Chain A
Amino acid sequence: MLCAQLLFPLSLFLGLSATVEVQRPRGVPLSKRQFYEEGKPFTCLDGSRTVPFDRVNDDYCDCKDGSDEPGTAACPNGSFHCTNAGHRPAFIPSSRINDGICDCCDTTDEYNSGATCKNTCREMGRRERESLQKLAEITKEGFLLKQQLIEEAKRKKEEKQSKLTELQAGKRDVEEKVEALRTVKETAEQPEKEAKERHLKAWEEQKAVIRMEKDKAKMAEAFLELDDDADGYVSVAELQSHAELDPNSDGSLTEEEVQGLLGGADKVDTSSFENIWGNLKDKYVSESQAENPSSLETAPEETKEPVTDNESEPYPEDDIGVEEDDEEEEDDDDDTHEDFEDKPQTSTQTPERSDKDEEAMPPYDAETQSLIDAAQKARDDFEESERALREIDDQVKNIEKELSFDFGPSAEFTYLYSQCYELTTSEYIYKICPFNRVSQKPKFGGSETNLGSWGSWAGPDDNKYTVMKYEHGTGCWQGPSRSTTVKLTCGKETTVTSTSEPSRCEYLMEFTTPAVCQEPLPVNVVHVDGHSDHVEL
């Protein structure tokens, strides 16, 4: 390996048929041939030093820039040029010369390693041209489709705009109508309110009378009950048996306290009783009632659900996925917690107490009823008009939202809005609804996982509209929330071509759409005969 092969014949195809042999040191591109003149001292391309020509490609690195060893691996920073006739020429790092791995399709990098390389340039060139051709066709058709999309988007935008104008005009009418109907409603509600109040007041008065009579009857009954010796007086002793009347609730009803209850007297007759009844009636328990212990009060305790069991149970679902695919665990978690929270709080509530004695309000008289009916009609009309206004507002908002999206420089991505596209893999169904969200659902049952909501265009500065970013999806265990990068490539169809998760919870989706197809170059770069040597010259 010490004897480096200095020069080698290089066949170049010029044009279609002419073949010219050009001598130059191994690994030198034609463009730099002039610096390597046989027999003349070689000056490193960085000008740092000059060495005899026999040190070019002598497998020892003399130049700091590696330029004296274009065809050997001697310089750490050198590069080797492969002509790759039939395909594209390339530079490879010097370290790949004779490393036993075929890098150049023309095999020229492995001239002394024992590696058996096959010249694949023609085949590669052909395949590349084919795929370029296919790509060109796709691009061409895609670009035509894109023009349609742009037109369509323009039309749609105009439509939306005029719809918006229309809606906004309509909105003013509806607003006026709402205001008019509000007045009508308010006008109708005033007499309704007054009539209702009158009716209510009459009934309240009637109720008060009834209540007073009842109270009187109760008082008389109580008096009779209390007046144990039937002497026409209720005495301190007689009252003292009613412990529930204890004013300070200290458990004993003293004589003094009873006296106080009796307004300082030792005993009272019926008419005086009337005066003190007010102090007693709230607490007073009829003797007939008191004999029945209130069994109702304890009953609810026993019917309590054994909710405590759930509380003592560990919550194993915490941070622990129940199934192999962790995507679901958060959802499962949530469900579980909800389950616990949703458990009806049975039994702790006591049934609402309703005063059975209270009688229902009598129906409205015909006059009031008609006022109510009229007001109700005004209300309904008003609400309907308000609903109509809200609908218009919603429509306006939606259109404004849609119009606010960045659908690309020519609005070519407009057609994706409010569409969804799916891809089914072995495990999941992936769904992208452009400008909205990306999600994933297990193929065989299970809930959906949000892989991110629309964030922004995220392509490189010069090509922003080739990558979409969806962010803030469902959170990951011990990690960030899920996000998806969508790479857009030119295609005739609008479809998801692949999905992957290169890094935990960071998804990558490939998506084809005509909307990113670029205008095809006017000149056809593809040579039908397969010799593309123009790059050299």
Chain B
Amino acid sequence: GHQAEAARFQSARCLFVLLPFFLGVAQAVDRSNFKTCDQSSFCKRQRDIKAGQSPYRALLETMELTNSRLTLQLINDNNKVRLLLELYRLQGNMTRVKINELKPLKPRYEVPDVLIQDPPTEPLSVVAQDENGVVLSLGADEQRLIVSARPFRLDIVEGPKVLLSLNSRGLLVFEHLRLRKDTKSQDDAEDGEGAEKTEQQAAEGDQLKEEEELPGTWEETFKTHTDTKPNGPTSISLDFSFPGVEHVYGIPEHADTLKLKTTDGGDPYRLYNLDVFQYELHNPMALYGAVPVLLSHNTERTMGVFWLNAAETWVDISSNTAGKTVFGKMLDFVQGSSETPQTDVRWISEAGIIDVFIMLGPKPSDVFSQYASLTGTQAFPPLSALGYHQCRWNYNDQEDVRGVDQGLDDHDIPCDFIWLDIEHTDGKRYFTWDPNKFSQPKDMLQGLKDKRRNLVAIVDPHIKVDSNFKVHNEIRSRNFYVKNKDGGDYEGWCWPGNAGYPDFTNAEMRAWWASMFAYDQYEGSMENMYTWNDMNEPSVFNGPEVTMHKDALHGSWEHREVHNIYGLYVHRATAEGLIQRSGGVERPFVLTRAFFAGSQRYGAVWTGDNAAEWGHLKISLPMCLSLGLVGISFCGADVGGFFKAPSTELLVRWYQAGAYQPFFRAHAHLDTPRREPWLFGPENTALIREAVRQRYALLPFWYQQFYNAHRTGQPVMRALWVEYPEDSVTFDIEDEYLLGRDLLVHPVTEEGLKSLTAYLPGKREVWYDVHTFKKHAGGQSLYIPVTMSSIPAFQRGGSIITRKDRVRRSSACMENDPYTLYVALSPEGTAEGELYIDDGHTFSYEKNKAFIHRRLTFNDGVLSSSNLALDSQFTTASWVEKIIFLGARKPASVTLKTAGWSWGSETRVEFEYDSALEVLSLRKPGVNAGADWTVLLR
């Protein structure tokens, strides 16, 4: 990904258009290319409306209650426009609040294809009702939903406690569809509808006048681009208050801290998928992807708000405790004068409707399950995709690819994928190959296949306008391109020069796109070739804010309404193509840069075009943690940094950090010097090799974590507070994290560091250094001296982690290798873990239940492996070669009992014991990894 110096690839025709984007951007983002809230007319309009008395009133007499749905009308007393409120109680402790115009002039966009199904509902019942409002029961735990009529507001309460309030600050704003003034009188004459509407329009008239005087209502110009806004103002806004909450998270993607900051005095967090050249750290500017999900958290409860809207969105956050010092807070507490801390959040979107899912938790894991039940879980990747990825813009030719593959072997660095960026194509025509540099792609792919490695080739969604290009001709003749406001094919500048943008919101278009990945359509492709979708925000070099014009048309919808979901559709169509080419047998692997709520279902995401700077290494943690909180687990940052050349130290540290992040890919900009891992002297090659080897040894653990994420929606990479929700020390931590719940990682992300302090959570826990096996108590900050080889990581006492310590050159080579179990004892002397095995690349685990899923438990001196999926069947050649107990006492004897005909018979197992470290190693139990067995320590 690289919106970079597009310029150098453009032909002369676009120079004038491009110019403004490239002056002065050499060092960092050119902020002037992107709108501030003030420059985005709806944001400014909305933000100028301050909290106060809401003009909305609930018309209780219009209330209708069916088993699962309550509807009632809201009226704006200023303009008499009526809205329709729908309330649903959803299974799994969620509430859905939908607000649309009662009678819109034309339908407003409701985002399709994000929810995996119509969310199942549960009965709503009225508990109490009077002229002031209605109280509804939300089922368990004394939870009630209170609808107040005048002014309209919603409160969700549990017993006496308010969990969450909507419109309590009166910021519900719904810009209803209206006719343009100059066409209005004519239309009025034709209008023969009832008195109610006339009344509405009469009142509307005054309001309209006022609104039309605001600039940017019917037309808006930013830099040289004019947005024609044929539908006029359509924005919406709603406020949410979280009493007792001081920490909110989520709404990626921003290059910012894990904990969201208050936005008072600055711009709101912006969600608008954009190709930002050399993005800046620590600001709320929009980036490549958008997931409109916000989590609130305090020691008692975690909740989530999912704002299902694909238009440009801004999120304001304010807090009544922000800026108070800890001492100030204490003083308030002691004096009893403190108001309850509260966080207020306001969502503003340019179009569409209000459709909000309130996830009531109460635990973080509940919120993840709730969100997963709405939008699905992380796609289960092929095992190989969890290995190391070697990328560069660009490997020059087939010989270069062969050389890199050989270099990895010569230096004994494991790798599963080599990647090809845009230069592999014939003139940026995706689905083709450069006839000189990649003339025999199948030879190249076969060469990699012989090494049990894979390739990724990039396919971007902008299609070169060229009448000799088959893909373009097909899309044009099938009328699949996005249209400009005048109905012609929309064209913009991107890598190939003039390009069209297929309308991925169109299901027919997606089906056709998917068919293009068939082996007989995509010439030169093979089953070990996968796909990378870049630039799918979409990036349009000469468009407003480097993206598509908002008045472009996707069928009858404006780009304005679908912008943030475009990238998801590209990703989805590609992933479906990869599934279909194998007849539905093989799991796809597709990386995307743009994303939206639900993108987790289609593959991996990376943090875009970062830079070779320490700050970018450091920010990769909170950026991926934020994505994990909103369902996207398969996240990574370009190892080494995309722009600029990393120092050797930074490169090594980035490999070390990347080895412990879900998506592990080294990538580099075209203009940077080569940086394959062996180019920095034998010492650094060894450091990088060691980091990559640690990754490969842990692949069984990673795979099991991804299986778990796929099945349950729990994130792979977790902020500490997710597992320690009552420990407020963890709430701000973003320089360390957990993989699953058992492996704590604190990578070194600072230059020249000689030591660091890691927080080991859990007062009653113990943690074992995975490198030295040394035991440390939880609930403390641990001082750790570090050297260049240090990757501080700790296994939680009470867990069992499975590893394959025979690291080979690719994950496929390790398929049948034996496991080593690391049994880290809790202070109570117990431990548990899981082991998941399948073929590593097909859907058989799902379709034929062809997998092994085992529970490993250690209790009272007995370690046993039991089947977690009795109806599954799969055989593996892998066995257990070693079991290492951390924090164990020395046993007198160790015996093994296996299932089958010899069940009950015991064999002695040899062991070694290190009394200084309390480490017990069992030599070669030898049981099959899929078998039932127990080991007894006596």
Q: Could you jot down 11 A-B contacts, CB within 8 Å?
A: A60-B924, A73-B808, A76-B805, A95-B806, A95-B813, A101-B813, A316-B19, A320-B22, A321-B8, A500-B396, A503-B672
Q: Is A159 an interface residue (CB 8 A)?
A: no
Contact of B436 with A by CB under 8 A: yes
Mark each residue of chain B from 647 to 680: 1 if its CB lies under 8 Å from any CB of chain A, else 0. 0000000000000000000000011111000000
Q: Which A residues lie within 8 Å of B879 (CB)?
A: 1-2
B73 to chain A, nearest CB (A): 55
**A39 at the binding interface (Cβ < 8 Å):** no
| Least distance between B850 CB and chain A CB atoms (Å) | 19
Q: Residue B828 at the A interface, CB < 8 A?
A: no
Q: Is the CB of B926 within 8 A of A95?
A: no
Cβ contacts B9-20/A at 8 Å (1 or 0 each): 111100110110
Known A-B contacts A93-B412, A318-B23, A319-B22; A73 and B451 likewise in contact (beta carbons under 8 Å): no
Give chain A residues whose Cβ lies under 8 Å from the Cβ of B877: 1
CB-CB under 8 A from A318, the residues of chain B are 19, 23
Q: Does B923 contact A (CB under 8 A)?
A: yes
Q: Is the CB of B8 within 8 A of A477?
A: yes
Main secondary structure of the interface of A (DSSP, over half): loop
Q: Which residues of B contact A95 (CB under 8 A)?
A: 412, 806-809, 813
Chain A residues whose CB sits within 8 angstroms of the CB of B452 once the complex forms: 99-101
CA distance A502 to B672 in the complex (A): 11
* Complex Cα spacing A51 to B553, Å: 76
Write out the residue numbers on chain A whose beta carbons fall within 8 Å of the beta carbon of B11.
322-324
Of all A-B residue pairs in the complex, the 9 with the closest CB atoms, nearest first, are: A316-B15, A99-B813, A320-B7, A503-B674, A321-B8, A326-B8, A95-B808, A60-B924, A504-B671
Q: Which residues on the A side are within 8 Å of B436 (C-beta)?
A: 426
A475 to chain B, nearest CB (A): 12
**Cβ-neighbour of A320 out of B8, B400, B817 (below 8 A):** B8
Which of B11, B18, B436, B924: most chain A Cβ within 10 A?
Answer: B924
Q: Is B507 an interface residue (CB 8 A)?
A: no
Contact of A265 with B by CB under 8 A: no
Say whether A501 faces chain B, with CB atoms less than 8 Å apart: yes
- Asked if A350 is an interface residue, CB under 8 A from chain B, the answer is no
Residue A15 is within 8 A (CB to CB) of chain B in the complex: no
A477 touches B12 (CB 8 A): no
Give the residues from 376 to 395 in chain A that come closer than 8 angstroms, CB to CB, to chain B.
none
With A320-B15, A501-B396 in contact, do A2 and B809 touch (Cβ < 8 Å)?
A: no
Q: How far is the CB of B835 from chain A (nearest CB, A)?
A: 19
Where chain B touches its partner, the secondary structure class is loop
Which bucket holds chain A's interface residue count?
35 or more
Per-position contact with B for A470-506: 1 when CB-CB < 8 Å, else 0? 0000001111000000000000000000001111111
The chain B residues found within 8 Å of chain A, CB to CB, are 5, 7-12, 15-16, 18-19, 22-23, 26, 396, 400, 412, 436, 450-452, 670-674, 805-809, 812-814, 816-817, 877, 879, 881-882, 923-924, 926
Q: Contact between B807 and A479 (Cβ–Cβ < 8 Å)?
A: no
Q: Is A85 an interface residue (CB 8 A)?
A: no
Could you tell me if B10 and A320 are in contact, using CB atoms closer than 8 angstroms? yes
Q: Which A residues are in CB contact (< 8 Å) with B23?
A: 318
- A96 contacts chain B at the CB level, 8 A cutoff: yes
Bound together, the chains give a CA A96 to CA B12 distance in angstroms of: 52
- Whether a CB of chain B sits under 8 angstroms from the CB of A314 is yes
- Cβ–Cβ contact A100 & B813, under 8 A: yes
Return the chain A residue nearest B928 by Cβ: A2
**Cβ A319 vs Cβ B7 within 8 A:** yes
In the bound complex, do residue B881 and residue A60 qualify as a contact, i.e. CB atoms below 8 Å apart? Answer: yes
Is B18 touching A320 in the complex (CB atoms < 8 A)? yes
Does A329 sit within 8 A of B, measured CB to CB?
Answer: yes
Q: Are B674 and A502 in contact (CB under 8 A)?
A: yes
Instruction: From B23, B412, B805, B806, name the one whose CB has the most chain A CB atoms within 10 angstroms.
Output: B806
Cβ of B674: which chain A residues have Cβ within 8 Å of it? 502-503, 506
The distance from the CB of A498 to the nearest CB of chain B, in whole angstroms, is 10
Interface 1/0 per residue, A90-112 and B, CB below 8 Å = 00010110011100000000000
Q: Is the CB of A502 within 8 A of B19?
A: no
Chain B nearest Cβ from A370, distance in angstroms? 66
Beta-carbon nearest neighbor of B926 in chain A: A2
Residue A74 is within 8 A (CB to CB) of chain B in the complex: yes
Q: Output the nearest chain A residue to B815 by Cβ-Cβ distance.
A: A100
Contacts of B451 in A (CB 8 A): 101
Chain B residues near A221 (CB-CB < 8 A): none
Residue picked from B16, B813, B877, B923, most chain A C-beta under 10 Å: B813
The reply to whether A314 and B19 contact each other, CB–CB distance below 8 Å, is yes
A500–B926 alpha-carbon span in the complex (Å): 52
Give A259 to B16 CA distance when docked, in angstroms: 69
Cross-chain contact B16 with A76 (CB below 8 angstroms): no
Q: Which of A59, A101, A329 contacts B450 (CB 8 A)?
A: A101
Contact, CB under 8 Å: B16 / A316: yes
Q: Report the separation of the CA atoms of residues A304 and B10 in the bound assembly, to the nearest whole angstrom.
A: 36
Besides the contacts A99-B809, A316-B15, A322-B15, what 4 more A-B pairs have beta carbons closer than 8 Å?
A1-B879, A101-B809, A504-B673, A506-B673
- Minimum C-beta distance from A510 to chain B (A): 12
Residues of chain B lying within 8 A (CB to CB) of residue A93: 412
User: B12, B18, B877, B923: which has the most chain A beta carbons within 10 Å?
Assistant: B12
Nearest-CB residue, chain B, relative to A505: B671
Partner of A100 from B8, B812, B926 at Cβ < 8 Å: B812
Report the Cα distance A477→B670, complex, angstroms: 11
Residue of A95, A96, A324 ringed by the most chain B CB atoms within 10 A: A95
Q: Report the bound CA distance from A329 to B12 in whole Å.
A: 11
B719 smallest CB distance to A (angstroms): 33
Q: Does A317 have its Cβ within 8 Å of any Cβ on chain B?
A: yes
Pairwise interchain contact A96-B671, C-beta atoms closer than 8 A:
no
A326 to B10, CA, bound (A): 10
Q: Are A74 and B16 in touch, CB under 8 angstroms?
A: no
When chains A and B are docked, how far (Å) is the Cα of A500 from the Cα of B436?
Answer: 13
Interchain CB contact under 8 A, A478 and B926: no
Distance in Å from the Cβ of B683 to the closest Cβ of chain A?
Answer: 17
